[in-house]
Structure 1
Amino acid sequence: MRPLTLETPKPLIRVGGRPMIDYILDRFEAAGVETAIVNVHYLADQIEAHLAARANPKIVISDERGKLLDQGGGIAKALPWLGDRPFFVANTDAFWIQEGPQQNLLRLAGAWDPERMDALLLVAATTSSVGVDWQGDFEMAPDGRLTRRAEDRIVPFVYTGVGIVKPELFASQTQEIFRLAPVFFEAAEKGRLFGQRLEGLWLHVGAPEAIEAAERTMVENTF
């Protein structure tokens, strides 16, 4: 997201007049989530100042100023706050429009089955996404089981940045710094990674030029 991120952390970059992080926090608030743990590292003071004005959900800061732990390591660091029950994970730039009659987060929670699943991801069809410039992430079986995209294939679903995971996936890791994607891929190899299809349009804003496309889509569709 350079040059925008030279002075502003990515979660605070504005899309549609609002910082991107506010969209997912609003979704969690509407779904009844009481506490959100937010990892901070780059330009962390700005993020803390912005979130200090928020009443719900309650914000707990997990400070990574001293060492950036990557997504997986950041989640592992937050486990003492999260306890031993499954929890939501979310990228701070994950947002969508045109949600169905039932909130996607509630649909995701309703589909969670700990007997079959180690992780359940909210996935979007590439045909109902904006800003997807890669070949997709997963194939999804009729029962919702996800398979990682093979290198030479184009697949119909992308990970929206939101999911439900078991804490055991992270407590068992031996490295302090690790990525999240390999955790999901390992669960997929065991047949324990599942997907729930997002209702609505997913907006991926991974570059400055993607902001215009996202904002145009927001104007053209009811939020």
Structure 2
Amino acid sequence: MADKAGKRAMILAAGLGTRLRPLTLTTPKPLVPVAGRPMIDYLIDLLKADGIDHVVVNVHHLADQMEAHLAPLMPWVTISDERERLLDSGGGVVKAAHLLGAAPVLLINADSFWLEPADAGESNIARLWSAFDPDTMDMLMLLAEPGQSTGHEKAGGDFVVRSDGRLSRYREGLADPLIYCGAMILHPRLLQDAPREPFSLNRFFDAAIAAGRLHGIRLNGHWLTVGTPEAIGAAEAAIADFSVTR
């Protein structure tokens, strides 16, 4: 079980949002509004509700706008500045490692979020912290079934749960595909020998799979991701429907 004292999170918010153009030509992707709110604000609410003690947000594209939006949340939020060089998801985490500390950390993508039932009890983030076992896991992912997601464009899913409870990559034809919700607990030991250059977190995913140390839990609620302008309407419809039916 992860130590809940001094819980830290990092929102990965430095991407260019190329598929969301033309919206992202003038607005950073995390600030694109969905149902009247910037996407990142949904995540901020989730992190506040879980009692996260400190949040790191990396910035690159239209970084001044990001900093201005987050300024009222400082010093609870700290900026990891990637203006000079975009480092991709993995490289961005490595650059921010000195801000994240030595304990397991929650990583969360800025372009997706989820809705939780009012009677959910323990939140999904709290469930991640509770389920993380540093002795057997390098990463613990939050995963959704295709039927509880909106905006996921990849056929099938991203991962499957093996018979021993560990995760492996989804391949066509496998049963019970699960979608990575862009949120996970990561043990910082993975960062110790990682390259200080741009690279994707997929490198860590594959290493953890090979070591049998990638695990996941299933989402309670509905997950949304917004990758294109057309996806905004679908996300807003899902939010409206969830609000009515929950």
TM-score, normalization by structure 1: 0.94
Aligned-pair identity (%): 48
Question: CA offset at residue 61 of structure 1?
Answer: 0.3
Structure 2 counterpart of 1:9, from 19, 23, 28: 28
Runs of 4+ more than 4 Å apart: 151-155
Question: CA offset at residue 4 of structure 1?
Answer: 0.6
- The DSSP-based 3-state class of the residue aligned with 1:147 is strand
Matched, 1:140 2:158: no
CA offset digits 1:98-120 (Å, max 9, x no partner): 34221100011110011110000
CA RMSD of aligned residues (A): 1.7
CA offset digits 1:9-44 (Å, max 9, x no partner): 000000011000111111111100011100000000
User: 1:1-223, aligned counterparts within 5 Å?
Assistant: 1-54=20-73, 58-99=76-117, 100-135=120-155, 136-141=157-162, 144-150=165-171, 156-222=177-243
Residue pair 1:149, 1:155 contacting (<8 A) in 2 also: no
Residue pair 1:98, 1:200 contacting (<8 A) in 2 also: yes
Residue pair 1:39, 1:62 contacting (<8 A) in 2 also: yes
- The DSSP-based 3-state class of the residue aligned with 2:121 is coil
Q: Distance in 2 between matches of 1:219 and 1:150?
A: 33
User: Please, which runs of 5 or more residues in structure 1 have no aligned partner?
Assistant: none
Between the two proteins, the alignment pairs up a number of residues equal to: 222
Letter in 1 for 2:66: I
Residue pair 2:95, 2:196 contacting (<8 A) in 1 also: no
CA offset digits 1:93-146 (Å, max 9, x no partner): 221113422110001111001111000011111111111221210001355411
Residue pair 2:142, 2:219 contacting (<8 A) in 1 also: yes
Question: CA offset at residue 175 of structure 1?
Answer: 4.4
Q: Distance in 2 between matches of 1:89 and 1:81?
A: 13
TM-score, normalization by structure 2: 0.86
